[in-house]
Chain A
Amino acid sequence: MNSPPPAALLECREVHKSFGPRTPALAGVSLAVSAGGLNALIGPDGAGKTTLMRLICGLLTAERGTVRVLGFDPVRAAQRIQERVSYMPQKFGLYEDLTVRENLDLYADLHGVSAAQRAQRYPQLLHMTDLRRFEGRLAGRLSGGMKQKLGLACTLVSSPQLLLLDEPTVGVDPLSRRELWQIVHHLVRDEGLTVLMSTAYLDEAERADRVIVLQSGRVLAEGAPQGITRLAAGRTFKLTPAAPESARTLQARLLASSTVIDAVPDAGAVRCVCAQPDGAAPAGSTPVAPRFEDGFMVLLRQRSVPEALTDILLAHPPAAASGAVIEVRDLVKRFGAFTAVDRVSFTVGRGEIFGLLGPNGAGKTTTFRMLCGLLAPSGGVLRVGGLDVARAGDAARGQLGYVAQKFSLYGPLTARENLEFFASAYGLRGAARRARIDWAMRQFELLEARGAAADLPGGFKQRLAMAAALLHEPRILFLDEPTSGADPLARRAFWRRISALADQGVTVVVTTHFMQEAEYCDHIVIMDAGRVLAQGTPAQVRALAPRHGLVEPTMEDAFIAVVERARAAEAAAPAAPAGAA
């Protein structure tokens, strides 16, 4: 039986879904997606984006409400839907012990893609994803960005009627992110595919045809991104800090004001969004055109009172120190024939925020591990807090806190139990231990965290991991991609805490994929293939990007320009073994 295609490819009406007695993941979601175009699903962590995606695919069932996908009910006809849509889960499970080609073949077989279709599709996919060189490589040995691209390629082996992508760009560096986007755009524009994609990057949402904003399991807004941008019309301003003040302190000052709902550092200046349109603009500011992100912040603030964020107060701020707190000279790390870190040098002063940027597999995490004494360097000088890490391992380690990429928390333990464990591990005892744990629970707003750490929302986990790393009052804090996958609100709160720590004298070293966030740093280094490509203040690095007319280049432009320039030079020179681990 052939029914006429429904008006909407996807329709949800009053959908409810909850997991256990906690607040529902979805509390009455209604939305419709019509054929064609790119639809972005955005919202803070725990807004219900992934749950909604899974309901649409028939992987979960709703408690109440109706869902219709391509005219089918995902509860009763899940198989029909699963035959017609393609879905890329947030954590795309590639078979790591199969090669790139074998993974593709598996999905092509499962989707019943004919040999003729493959002959046409494979070259296209391998070209778009730039994976042709790695066809025979095991998927487990690809870098994070390449894995993500392979996941997308596996999702696209067939021509689905609806493509669902759940945060496909999380943990992917700007270069790979741009490539992924080009692929998706091509499919939407040239092949007329309908895409529903959730994302934590607001600049990605801005490029969609339609956005659906989800918060606390409800649809907050739905429409063209321009509509959301317009919410901030007449409320956006730019301020340049006066000489002694840094952009960061200016930003903190602005955020403290009740008339300002958002402030972010931007190319040496600070952009802010005011609570009222055309109200009292901050003194010395010039109006600027609103961005999607500004509109998004206005939207979120309309609905929820911002959390009263208390700035972290250290009981014993690190003492003033002269000279560099971290000194790295000609640091080298080799794994067999592969050089992961190649003569890296930099210094970080007390109370500085130092950013380590680079594509997936650039050697950032390896550098980090050496700084923390987790990995012995193959060569070079490494002094942390005046101590040689290689010799005075424990003493050097005692003055630093480390937040690993995947927060090292004990999933089945509660927030307090995790803190109790880490406090004991740092040798804290009795009253001192209790005092430090109370401090951490208060300062990081963990008092309302209920249940096992594994079940906490991402933002809570990140705060808990940071709290655990600060229990022993370290002078230096290392954070490896702490904001990966975090929503804009959580990221702002995170950077406010980091700024407060730095202002009290804690030295912070951080890696990130969000180039905007580099603006919070005092100094940054851009790495690729184990080498330092550029370093300096954010303004100095930004200046490395080519200028196009009057538009101020962004940090992302600079990053892409620097990395591509270096890679072009590398390709021109006699090739050294490339490492994509």
Chain B
Amino acid sequence: MERRSSSEVRARLVRIGSLVRKEWRQMIRDPASIAIGVVLPVILILLFGYGLSLDVKNVPIAVLDQDGSSLASGLIGDLRLSPYFKPQSVTSLRAAEELLAQRSVEAIFTVPPDFARRASSTGAAVQLIVSGTDANTARIIEAYVNGVVSAWAARQAPALAGPVLVQSRLWFNSANDSRYFLVPGLIVLVMTLIGAFLTAMVVAREWERGTFEALFVTPVRAEEILLGKTIPYFALGMVGLALCVFSGRFLFHVPVRGSLVVLLAVSMLYVLVALAIGLLISSAAKNQLVASQVTLIATFMPAAMLSGLLFDLRSMPAGVRAITYLLPARYYVALLQTIFLAGDIWSVIVPNALALLAMLALLAVALGAITRKRLA
């Protein structure tokens, strides 16, 4: 039985401290880590927050004329003349909804059956359903339709008894602010990059430069090497998180409806999961090129595409949706969207956090089993 004396514990702490210090120095002297940990979050936020406005022209929209009056066809004719739209006539709402779901059209413009009658008596309304997947585009479409309708109403003014309103509905994104959506998404991406990508890279760098060979033949333990890698990148992840939350809150006024403590706790959990994945990948991929490719494909891409961050999980085919349950990013996205936009909803937070915790436990066991101070 090996008894742990206090001097041995102290020796361990000295070794871990020294490895952390070494890693930290390498990190702050290597512009690439700083770029990914600090500069990238800032650039992404500025880019998504300010720059990402799409030029809207020739937007395909479905037009459903339930009225059939000459007044209605006049309005639709104006829509056809606008350079911003490419209207497509449909005969039923069902057909229009199908087109919208397929993203063949971005919006459905409906003229209700009693449009002409109401226009000449009390005032009429048309309906606009916009796909909210891309909130920026949705808002622009809405504004243009409003523009076309009010211009038409102004010209028809003598014949109209009241105003013509556009009743718009946003489908798939009722909050209608892309920033609300993007800031939590950015946090997921940045945490994934720092956690999995950076760690896999720095471990692969040690293999590549042969620094592990000398390091292994010292009293240092395998788990101390793991901790030496984990602690600094965990700290860098927290810096990235702080930057994202701070700029989201104060630059774009994204609300944080839940508590910061819960946000911090689940973020820590996710960074640890990402770190464990990075370490696991680098134990197999021992050069930087392979490590970066594998981590991008195994963590970053799914985090962007399959976590519910860009595409709605519910609209995915069942097979793909099943895969998303294997992705830690899925649970983190659910947690962040809840905490940012809804609040501390425990019925969402608890199961998702437990899923992450289970993944972390599994990964830790796997890491412990395969990490050896061996070259082959």
Please give the number of chain A residues whose Cβ is less than 8 angstroms from any Cβ of chain B in the complex: 36
Distance between Cα atoms of A538 and B25 in the complex (Å): 48
Contact of B15 among A59, A89, A110 (CB under 8 A): A110
- Asked whether any CB of chain A lies closer than 8 Å to the CB of B17, the reply is yes
Per-residue 0/1 for B1-30: is the Cβ within 8 Å of any A Cβ (1 yes, 0 no)? Answer: 000000000010011011101100110011
Contact of A110 among B26, B211, B215 (CB under 8 A): B215
Contact indicator A89/B26 (Cβ below 8 Å): no
Contact indicator B373/A96 (Cβ below 8 Å): no
Per-residue 0/1 for A91-107: is the Cβ within 8 Å of any B Cβ (1 yes, 0 no)? Answer: 11111111000100111
- Asked whether any CB of chain A lies closer than 8 Å to the CB of B261, the reply is no
- Residues in chain A near residue B17, CB distance under 8 A: 109
Given A54-B375, A91-B210, A110-B18, CB of A59 within 8 Å of CB of B25: no
Contact of A97 among B30, B213, B219 (CB under 8 A): B30
Given A95-B26, A109-B14, A110-B18, CB of A59 within 8 Å of CB of B220: no
Contact of B215 among A58, A91, A93 (CB under 8 A): A93
Per-residue 0/1 for B208-250: is the Cβ within 8 Å of any A Cβ (1 yes, 0 no)? Answer: 0111111111111100000000000000000000000000000
Q: How far is the CB of B178 from chain A (nearest CB, A)?
A: 40
Distance between Cα atoms of A59 and B21 in the complex (Å): 25
- Asked whether any CB of chain B lies closer than 8 Å to the CB of A511, the reply is no
- Asked whether any CB of chain A lies closer than 8 Å to the CB of B265, the reply is no
- Asked whether any CB of chain A lies closer than 8 Å to the CB of B376, the reply is yes
Distance between Cα atoms of A164 and B216 in the complex (Å): 13
Interface residue stretch chosen among A77-85, A256-264, A284-292, A471-479: A77-85
Residue ID in chain B nearest A155 by CB atoms: B214
- Asked whether any CB of chain B lies closer than 8 Å to the CB of A502, the reply is no
- Asked whether any CB of chain B lies closer than 8 Å to the CB of A362, the reply is no
Q: How far is the CB of A1 from chain B (nearest CB, A)?
A: 12
- Where chain B touches its partner, the secondary structure class is helix
Contact of B218 among A61, A97, A107 (CB under 8 A): A107
Contact indicator B217/A97 (Cβ below 8 Å): no
Contact indicator B214/A88 (Cβ below 8 Å): yes
Contact indicator A59/B219 (Cβ below 8 Å): no
Q: How far is the CB of A76 from chain B (nearest CB, A)?
A: 12
Contact indicator A83/B219 (Cβ below 8 Å): yes
- Residues in chain B near residue A96, CB distance under 8 A: 209
- Asked whether any CB of chain B lies closer than 8 Å to the CB of A57, the reply is yes
Contact indicator A112/B219 (Cβ below 8 Å): yes
- Asked whether any CB of chain B lies closer than 8 Å to the CB of A341, the reply is no
Contact of B22 among A83, A87, A95 (CB under 8 A): A95
- Residues in chain A near residue B209, CB distance under 8 A: 93, 96
- Asked whether any CB of chain B lies closer than 8 Å to the CB of A151, the reply is yes
- Asked whether any CB of chain A lies closer than 8 Å to the CB of B142, the reply is no
Given A106-B18, A109-B14, CB of A60 within 8 Å of CB of B214: no
- Asked whether any CB of chain B lies closer than 8 Å to the CB of A111, the reply is yes
Per-residue 0/1 for B322-358: is the Cβ within 8 Å of any A Cβ (1 yes, 0 no)? Answer: 0000000000000000000000000000000000000
- Asked whether any CB of chain A lies closer than 8 Å to the CB of B206, the reply is yes
- Residues in chain A near residue B21, CB distance under 8 A: 106
- Residues in chain A near residue B219, CB distance under 8 A: 79, 82-83, 110-112
Contact indicator A92/B25 (Cβ below 8 Å): no
- Residues in chain B near residue A93, CB distance under 8 A: 206, 209-215
Residue ID in chain B nearest A108 by CB atoms: B18
Q: How far is the CB of A158 from chain B (nearest CB, A)?
A: 8
Q: How far is the CB of A195 from chain B (nearest CB, A)?
A: 15
Contact indicator B26/A109 (Cβ below 8 Å): no
Contact indicator B218/A111 (Cβ below 8 Å): yes
Interface residues of B in 11-63 (CB under 8 A from A): 11, 14-15, 17-19, 21-22, 25-26, 29-30
Q: How far is the CB of A219 from chain B (nearest CB, A)?
A: 23
- Residues in chain A near residue B215, CB distance under 8 A: 93, 110
- Residues in chain B near residue A54, CB distance under 8 A: 375
- Asked whether any CB of chain A lies closer than 8 Å to the CB of B374, the reply is yes
- Residues in chain B near residue A91, CB distance under 8 A: 210, 213
- Asked whether any CB of chain B lies closer than 8 Å to the CB of A251, the reply is no
Residue ID in chain A nearest B12 by CB atoms: A112
- Residues in chain A near residue B216, CB distance under 8 A: 57, 59, 82
Residue ID in chain B nearest A91 by CB atoms: B210
Contact indicator B218/A110 (Cβ below 8 Å): yes
Contact indicator B210/A59 (Cβ below 8 Å): no
Q: How far is the CB of B323 from chain A (nearest CB, A)?
A: 32
Given A93-B209, A106-B18, CB of A85 within 8 Å of CB of B214: no
Contact indicator B375/A60 (Cβ below 8 Å): yes
Given A58-B373, A109-B15, CB of A151 within 8 Å of CB of B22: no
- Asked whether any CB of chain B lies closer than 8 Å to the CB of A154, the reply is yes
- Residues in chain A near residue B376, CB distance under 8 A: 19, 60
- Asked whether any CB of chain B lies closer than 8 Å to the CB of A86, the reply is yes
Q: How far is the CB of B25 from chain A (nearest CB, A)?
A: 6
Contact indicator B374/A98 (Cβ below 8 Å): no
Contact indicator B25/A154 (Cβ below 8 Å): no
- Residues in chain A near residue B19, CB distance under 8 A: 106, 110
Given A83-B219, A151-B214, CB of A97 within 8 Å of CB of B26: yes
Contact indicator A98/B213 (Cβ below 8 Å): no
Distance between Cα atoms of A85 and B219 in the complex (Å): 9
Q: How far is the CB of A497 from chain B (nearest CB, A)?
A: 31
Residue ID in chain B nearest A151 by CB atoms: B214
- Residues in chain B near residue A60, CB distance under 8 A: 374-376
Contact indicator B210/A87 (Cβ below 8 Å): no
Interface residues of A in 101-156 (CB under 8 A from B): 102, 105-107, 109-112, 151, 154-155
Contact indicator B25/A98 (Cβ below 8 Å): yes
Q: How far is the CB of A521 from chain B (nearest CB, A)?
A: 33
- Most A CB atoms within 10 A — which of B209, B212, B214, B373? B214
- Residues in chain A near residue B212, CB distance under 8 A: 93
Residue ID in chain B nearest A85 by CB atoms: B217
- Residues in chain A near residue B373, CB distance under 8 A: 58-59, 78-79, 82
Interface residues of B (CB under 8 A from A): 11, 14-15, 17-19, 21-22, 25-26, 29-30, 206, 209-221, 373-376
* 26 sampled A-B residue pairs with Cβ under 8 A: A57-B216, A58-B373, A59-B216, A59-B217, A78-B374, A79-B219, A79-B221, A82-B373, A85-B217, A87-B214, A89-B210, A92-B210, A93-B206, A93-B209, A95-B26, A98-B22, A102-B25, A105-B18, A106-B19, A106-B22, A109-B14, A110-B215, A110-B218, A110-B219, A112-B11, A112-B219
Given contacts A58-B217, A82-B216, list 14 more A-B pairs with CB under 8 A.
A19-B376, A54-B375, A57-B217, A59-B373, A59-B374, A83-B219, A93-B206, A93-B213, A102-B25, A106-B22, A110-B215, A111-B219, A112-B11, A151-B214
The 7 closest A-B pairs by CB, nearest first: A93-B211, A109-B18, A87-B217, A93-B210, A83-B219, A89-B213, A110-B218
